[in-house]
């Protein structure tokens, strides 16, 4: 087996493995995003239903715009069987974007959150439970940008010298096998596996990538690779950066 052919086969195996991991990660990310979207949707739907189920409280106010001016969100009051005014939900499709935003702002406030800056949204951990950062602050996400979560877990994390040795053993095993020396090839392969097992350490991995909308989807792969590459450099593992993807 020629050197070029061997490395071609090795690279093909790596690429297939990377593609499989990418597919699994994105399948999990899609499921997780559906769950997160559903969590916020269910929380808002429950709040919206409760807001209009009870008679209108005199202390309940419409949300206000940034300048403090009251905004009419289209509530329609009807008299209930008990002679009280029941708060009937407005036709959502008839509301302006500003009115809808103000309703969401009120939803955030009643869930203990400040309305996010325009162009941003909160990330949710569970129904009605915002995701918090390491300082206990709600995590904001810019709309139109992909969400990339990098986390630490045990995995293949050799030093540069260990990685060079690992690649050399892979090459030596291939050369030995190509000349029919299978015992020697097995010896190199056993040494390679032992080295791989000995360098299992904490290292960064892509936990998931979430892309909502065409703009975010178009940036997803690039941003994911950039964030993982930066994390690998930060932990002294730049030699593990892949030229083909993440």
Let me know if residue 163 belongs to a domain. Answer: no
Cα 82 to its chain centre, rounded Å, is 49
Average pLDDT over residues 96-125: 84
Average pLDDT over residues 110-119: 85
Let me know if residue 204 belongs to a domain. Answer: no
Let me know if residue 99 belongs to a domain. Answer: yes
Q: What pLDDT does 22 receive?
A: 45
SS3 sequence of 12-41: HHHHHHHHHHHHHHHHHHHHHHHHHHHHHH
Let me know if residue 169 belongs to a domain. Answer: no
pLDDT band at 200, cuts 50/70/90? very high
Q: Is the pLDDT of residue 87 over 80?
A: no
> Domain span at residue 88?
35-141
Q: How many CB atoms neighbour CB 1 within 10 A? A: 13
Distance CA 209, CA 87 (A): 41
**Residue pLDDT, tens place only, 26-65:** 444 444 444 445 445 667 777 777 777 755 544 445 544 4
**Residue pLDDT, tens place only, 148-180:** 999 999 999 999 999 999 999 999 999 999 999
Q: Is the pLDDT of residue 222 over 50?
A: yes
- Total number of domains in the chain: 1
Let me know if residue 97 belongs to a domain. Answer: yes
Phi and psi torsions of 53, nearest 5°:
-80, -40
3-state secondary structure of 202: strand
């Amino acid at each position: 087996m020629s050197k070029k052919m061997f490395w071609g086969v090795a690279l093909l195996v790596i690429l297939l493995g990377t593609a499989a991991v990418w597919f699994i990660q994105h399948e999990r990310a899609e499921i997780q995003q559906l769950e997160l979207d559903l969590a916020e949707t269910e929380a808002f739907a429950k709040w919206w239903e409760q807001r209009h189920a009870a008679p209108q409280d005199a202390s309940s106010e419409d949300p206000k715009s940034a300048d403090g001016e009251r905004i009419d969100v289209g509530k329609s009051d009807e008299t209930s069987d008990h002679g009280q005014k029941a708060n009937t939900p407005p036709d959502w499709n008839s509301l302006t974007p500003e009115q809808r935003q103000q309703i969401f702002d009120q939803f955030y406030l009643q869930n203990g959150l400040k309305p996010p800056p325009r162009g941003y949204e909160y990330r949710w951990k569970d129904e009605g439970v915002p995701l918090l950062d390491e300082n206990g602050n709600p995590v904001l996400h810019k709309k139109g940008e992909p969400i990339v979560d990098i986390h630490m877990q045990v995995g293949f994390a050799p030093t540069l010298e260990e990685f060079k040795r690992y690649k050399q053993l892979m090459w030596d095993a291939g050369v030995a096998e190509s000349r029919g020396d299978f015992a020697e090839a097995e010896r190199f392969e056993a040494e390679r596996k032992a080295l791989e097992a000995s360098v299992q350490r904490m290292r960064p991995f892509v936990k998931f990538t979430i892309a909502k909308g065409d703009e975010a989807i178009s940036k997803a792969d690039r941003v994911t690779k950039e964030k993982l590459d930066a994390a690998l450099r930060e932990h002294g593992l730049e030699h593990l950066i892949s030229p083909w993807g993440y």
